[in-house]
Amino acid sequence: MKKSKGFTLIELMVVIVILGILAAVIAPRIPQFVNKAKEGKTKGNLGTLRSTLNIYYSDNDGVYPTDTLSCLTPKYIKQIPDAEMPPTHVASNAVAADGSGDGGLTPADAGGWIYENTRTESNWGDIGVNCNAHTDSNGNYWSSY
């Protein structure tokens, strides 16, 4: 009986066909995976900003910043992180002041972050994503975070 030291051509072809089928199934979903990763990054960055604001608040005797968060860098955070909202907005670390006077964050469809910097507002110190017109991959509006 002869011992085989390798794979036959048929065995190799079967493996290649199986790999091709798997690639054909997975490849169309890769852009969705990239968008979900960007969404997760934005949600994580929002959490980082909220934590940074709480540290600032503790260090400054219960006072939030009254500017557009430029006072946080570089002492509390190296730089303001980006908000990425695929595929609607380009990544931006711009912080817009709310100034609506309605007691809640009123985002525009501008991208970046929105921050309530008015001391007299009940939501002073709140920060959110500055997009009220687009949704993430789960159908939630960006401004709801």
Which strands make up the sheet holding 95-97, listed edge to edge?
95-97, 113-115, 127-129
What are residue 95's DSSP bridge partners?
113
Give CA–CA dist 126/105, Å, rounded.
Answer: 7
pLDDT value at 128 more than 80: yes
More confident residue, 21 or 86: 21
Query: pLDDT digits over 71-103, tens only?
Result: 888 998 999 999 888 878 888 888 888 877 777
95-97 and 113-115 strand pairing: parallel
Q: What is the average pLDDT across 120-125?
A: 85
CA trace torsion 117, 112, 107, 63 (10° rounding): -20
Q: What are phi and psi of 53, to 5 degrees?
A: -65, -40
pLDDT value at 41 more than 70: yes
Give CA–CA dist 42/88, Å, rounded.
Answer: 13
pLDDT value at 17 more than 90: yes
Give the global pTM. 0.78
Q: What is the average pLDDT across 51-76?
A: 89
Average pLDDT over the chain reads 86
Q: For residue 123, what are the contacts with CB-CB under 8 A and spacing of at least 6?
A: 103, 104, 105, 116
Q: What is the average pLDDT across 60-78?
A: 88
pLDDT value at 4 more than 80: no
Give CA–CA dist 99/65, Å, rounded.
Answer: 14
Give CA–CA dist 109/97, Å, rounded.
Answer: 14
- The pLDDT value given to residue 125: 86
CA trace torsion 74, 114, 64, 125 (10° rounding): -140
More confident residue, 112 or 102: 112
pLDDT band at 2 (very low <50, low <70, confident <90, very high): low
- The pLDDT value given to residue 104: 74
